[in-house]
């Protein structure tokens, strides 16, 4: 996602076993292969090396290893590999003509009624529509295989779980890959931390899609574990959390594409950076869209959570146009306060207070677009079981055409998005009457204003706060329970609110945000501030990888630094993103300023100008 602090090294000679007939790339061509900001990296970076074709995988890996680049993943018959290397090593690797590009191996967090009556699923079941003969592939945190809610309908399992420094595999065999029975077990020791199961998200999602009380109770479940356990407080906000690496997701999608199971839909209840429009042409989009298109051509829909940022757009990968992007509504037929919305959302589905299975034969109530997404995945299993020869694109269109229209404003335009009605789609009934929604509009990007005085680095009044908040973050971005409740049936707890953008009307300066982040002086609750930082982590390309700002203490220190022009820009950017999370400004100027921050040759004047553009008046 971001950057570090070294200049690109000059182009090195072509590797010895590179084809001699291919000209050595020029330094500028080599630099173009590297993701923006990658050459700023300090220390080593986990990166995906894209290759011209799968046949180059082995020879390039051998040469990389010979040059002391750590090859951490080399999937056979794939046109990529994953390495761990310094900025200089990656730049040297980019010289090889067989390498087409190098970018970070990004990691994505889960997007964290069954309201079957609202979508007509209960009546569909009564008429015999239960999804028999189809399956839903749930790419998530694994599944409780023995949970009575699944009734022996888990038809296949797999695990793709990346490892790194401080990152452990969740595959039961301890390796990065495992297939077959038990491969996606969510009850392993690595799933447990401080008396809780970090892997419950996948069982909850699977239960909504195809559990005994889910949308398609006759469908099979292909459980694919794609997350890794991260043991890093600066990333998690607590001791441990889960993230899904891009490399794991790519292998999982390929596994589904090669499956012999009759799969109707892939469920991805996870998400990364929000996007106001299509991300088909982004770095990640150009990798994932062909895989999603190939699945669609095979009759498999990729159904993705739109995100919980209260954003007029969708999170990655829901911003890829060939996915089915799903937002959340509540039981009163209103868009959920936390849900992303807008023209990029294909369907809304129930996502508030959804009761479903969690490990150890229990159930829990969660809210979020993570919960809405499997309603749609299960609905597509019902439609495909009814009409297995119909192309999936037509089934998706049928589902959207039958939905109850929600009419609302997003990005200054009237938008109509259907709310899932699977019974109407199955029976050909006319859609229910439209409902005009009145969600509070997301704030627009203001004109750049003159900044307040920047933080005074000499002002060290007050103790330095501890690096972590004192109370548990209810919805930290990396956690699989992104959307909070948590009323487990055995030991119920009071539900909490979903992590979402605020609705404040006043922008705060860097100094005032520093006061808020200081645990002894701020007015905003720690939980709210930690939520804001989790939203910043998803939306920004600078935080937290380039500048650690994922906890209250580290964010406070970023705001109070301000010694160099880069540090001043970091403080300004964090101020701007916190104001965005607080609900007071948009992202256009912030993203422009981040491009300056990620440019190696940015001058002090450019850094100062970028900082000034994003600070509030």
Catalytic residues: 140, 201, 370
DSSP string for residues in 56-86: GHHHHHHHHHHTT-EEEE--TT-SEEEEEEE
> Residues with Cβ < 8 Å from 23, sequence gap 6 or more?
97
- CA–CA separation, 420 vs 120, rounded Å? 9
Measured between its terminal Cα atoms, the distance across the chain in Å is 29
- CA–CA separation, 223 vs 265, rounded Å? 12
Cβ atoms 374, 206 nearer than 8 A: yes
Q: In which region does residue 531 sit, left (phi positive, over 0), alpha (psi from -120 to 50) or beta (all else)? A: alpha
Cβ atoms 560, 457 nearer than 8 A: yes
- CA–CA separation, 112 vs 70, rounded Å? 33
Q: Are strands 435-436 and 404-410 parallel, antiparallel or unpaired?
A: parallel
Instruction: State whether residue 53 is helix, strand or coil.
Output: coil
- CA–CA separation, 336 vs 346, rounded Å? 15
- CA–CA separation, 485 vs 115, rounded Å? 16
> Residues with Cβ < 8 Å from 309, sequence gap 6 or more?
274, 315, 338, 340, 500, 501, 535, 538, 539
**CA angle 495-499-471, nearest 5°?**
70
**CA angle 262-265-268, nearest 5°?**
140
Cβ atoms 129, 386 nearer than 8 A: yes
Count Cβ neighbours within 10 Å for each residue of 134-167 and write b for 16 or more, e otherwise: bbbbbbbbbbbbebebbeebbbbbbbbbbbbeeb
């Amino acid at each position: 996602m971001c950057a570090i602090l070294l200049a690109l090294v000059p182009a090195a000679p072509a590797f010895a076993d590179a084809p001699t007939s291919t000209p050595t790339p020029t330094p500028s061509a080599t630099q173009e292969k590297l993701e923006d900001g990658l050459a700023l990296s300090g220390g080593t970076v986990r990166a995906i090396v894209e290759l011209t074709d799968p046949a180059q995988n082995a020879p390039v890996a051998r040469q990389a290893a010979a040059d002391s680049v750590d090859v951490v993943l080399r999937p056979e018959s794939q046109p990529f590999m994953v390495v761990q290397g310094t900025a200089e090593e990656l730049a040297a690797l980019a010289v090889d003509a067989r390498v087409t590009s190098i970018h970070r191996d990004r990691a994505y967090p889960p997007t964290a009624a069954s309201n079957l009556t609202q979508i007509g699923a209960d009546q569909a079941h009564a008429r015999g529509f239960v999804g028999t003969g189809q399956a839903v592939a749930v790419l998530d945190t694994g599944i409780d295989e023995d949970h009575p809610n699944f009734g022996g309908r888990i038809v296949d399992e797999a695990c793709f779980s990346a490892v790194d420094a401080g990152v452990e595999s969740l595959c039961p065999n301890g390796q990065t890959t495992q297939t077959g029975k038990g491969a996606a077990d969510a009850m392993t020791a690595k799933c447990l931390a401080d008396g809780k199961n970090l892997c419950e998200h996948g069982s909850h999602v699977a239960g909504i899609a195809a559990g005994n009380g889910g949308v398609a109770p006759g469908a099979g479940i292909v459980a694919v574990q794609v997350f890794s356990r991260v043991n890093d407080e600066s990333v998690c906000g607590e001791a441990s959390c889960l993230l899904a690496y891009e490399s794991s997701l790519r292998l999982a999608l390929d596994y589904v594409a090669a499956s012999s199971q009759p799969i109707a839909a892939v469920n991805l209840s996870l998400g990364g950076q929000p996007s106001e429009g299509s991300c088909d042409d982004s770095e990640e989009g150009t990798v994932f869209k062909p895989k999603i298109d190939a699945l669609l051509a095979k009759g498999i829909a990729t159904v993705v959570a739109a995100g919980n940022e209260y954003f007029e757009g969708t999170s990655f990968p829901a911003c890829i146009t060939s996915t089915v992007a799903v937002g959340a509504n509540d039981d009163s037929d209103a868009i959920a306060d936390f849900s992303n919305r807008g023209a990029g959302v294909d369907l809304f589905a129930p996502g508030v207070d959804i009761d479903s299975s969690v490990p150890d034969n229990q159930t829990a109530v969660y809210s979020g677009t993570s919960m809405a997404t499997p309603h749609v995945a299960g609905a597509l299993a019902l439609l495909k079981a009814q009409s297995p020869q119909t192309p999936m694109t037509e089934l998706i269109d049928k589902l959207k055409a039958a939905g109850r229209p929600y009419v609302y404003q997003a990005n200054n335009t009237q938008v109509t998005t259907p709310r899932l009605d699977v019974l109407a789609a199955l029976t050909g009934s006319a859609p229910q009457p439209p409902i005009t929604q009145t969600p509070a509009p997301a704030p627009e990007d203001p004109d750049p204003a003159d900044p307040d005085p920047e933080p005074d680095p000499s002002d060290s009044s007050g103790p330095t706060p501890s690096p972590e908040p004192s109370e548990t973050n209810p919805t930290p971005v990396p956690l699989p329970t992104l959307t909070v409740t948590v009323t487990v049936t055995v030991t119920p707890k009071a539900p909490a609110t979903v992590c979402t953008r605020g609705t404040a009307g006043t922008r705060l300066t860097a100094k005032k945000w520093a006061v808020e982040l200081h645990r002894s002086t701020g007015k905003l609750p720690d939980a709210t501030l930690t939520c804001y930082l989790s939203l910043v982590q998803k939306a920004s390309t600078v935080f937290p990888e380039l500048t650690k700002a994922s906890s209250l203490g580290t964010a406070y220190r970023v705001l109070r630094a301000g010694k160099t022009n880069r540090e001043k820009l970091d403080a300004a950017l964090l101020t701007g993103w916190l104001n965005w999370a607080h609900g007071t400004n948009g992202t256009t100027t912030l993203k422009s300023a981040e491009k300056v921050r990620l440019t190696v040759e940015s001058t002090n004047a450019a850094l100062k100008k970028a900082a000034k553009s994003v600070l509030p008046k």
